[in-house]
Every structure is written in structure tokens, then in C-alpha cells.
Amino acid sequence: MKTKHLAIIYLLILTIGTIVSIYMPKVEMVGAEDTKVIPDEAIRLRILANSDAEEDQAVKRLIRDEVNEDITKWVEELTSLDEARDVITSHLPDIQATAEAVIKEQGLEQSVKVDFGQAEFPTKLYGQYLYPAGDYEAVIITLGEGEGANWWCVLFPHCVSWIFQMGRL
């Protein structure tokens, strides 16, 4: 009888363990050798929303879509950082106009400030891509007060849109 109870307990523990392992979220470990670090020569795009209000975050995403689409077209064939800088700098008024048009279409009264220069970024790991903390060259679009969560991606090289939402810096 004692053996029967031990067998039932063993089967019960084995069954519970199996069920738990099936339904537990899987965590994929990325080894150091698999991590890809973006180059220091990358140019980023950063958009700071006016606030964390849903309306301000939504307009940030609309501007992101419009501006990212334009810039991707401008730099997709470029291979040198100097060329990318020249092209992006020459199109800053276009970026400003695009962002202002989206603000106007949404019926908002927010200022838009577009800069190209150094911006501070925190360390982030997104999938297998490592973004080390530091000051990086970036197109920075500040909407209104610029106090909301921001969005960013890598514009150059290769117009890679490694996108994710970050909190305030």
C-alpha cells in the first residue's frame, strides 16, 4: 500500500512539473557571441513626445511613421557616414515640415523642434542587438515640451529600424 501511495505521489509531481514546464514562458538566452552591437558610426532618430498622454503618444507614432519612411528612402543607397550626414542635414527642413504637418492634421497646438547632433542614449538589449549607452549622433525631434516617453531607431547604416519604446531619459 505504501508503495502504491509513493507511486501516485511521484506521478502527481511528474504531471504537475510537466504542466508547469509547458505553460511557463520560455526565456531565450542570448550568448555574448550572438549579441550584435550597432556600430558607433550609426545615426539614430529620436522622437520625444510632448507628454505621456495617449494623444501625444499617438501623434509621436504618426510622426515616426512619416519621418522614418522619408529618411529611409533618402539614405537607403548610401554607404558612407559622411554622405548620410550630408543627406540628413540637407533634409532637416523637410523633416520639420513633415512633423509640423502631422501636428496640424491632428489639430494640435504643439511646437516642433528638429535638431541634428549628439544625444544621450541608455544601454538597451533588444533581441540580439545591443545598444551601448552613450552619446550618439541623432536626428532629434522634440514635440511640445518633450516630456513624454520617446521612440528611437537606427537610421544609418543600412536603414535598420530596430524599434522600441523607451521611457524618459
CA pair distance 146, 18, nearest whole angstrom: 49
Where residue 25 falls among pLDDT bands split at 50, 70, 90? low
CA pair distance 78, 147, nearest whole angstrom: 33
| Predicted confidence (pLDDT) per residue in 43-87, tens digit | 888 899 999 999 999 999 999 999 988 988 888 888 888 998 999
Residue 165 pairs with which residues in a beta bridge? 151
pLDDT at 126: 67
In which element (H, E) is residue 16 found?
helix 2-23
Where residue 165 falls among pLDDT bands split at 50, 70, 90? very low
| Predicted confidence (pLDDT) per residue in 102-158, tens digit | 999 999 999 999 999 998 887 777 677 777 888 889 999 999 999 988 777 777 765
State pTM to two decimals: 0.70
Question: Cell 540637407 belongs to which residue?
Answer: 90
Q: How far is CA 105 from the centre of its chain?
A: 25
pLDDT at 43: 86
Question: Cell 528611437 belongs to which residue?
Answer: 152
* Per-residue burial over 117-144, b = 16 or more CB atoms within 10 Å of its CB, e = otherwise: eebebeeeeeeebebeeeebbbbbbbbb
In the sheet where 164-166 sits, what is the strand order?
112-121, 134-143, 43-48, 150-156, 164-166
Whether pLDDT at 163 is above 70: no
pLDDT at 120: 85
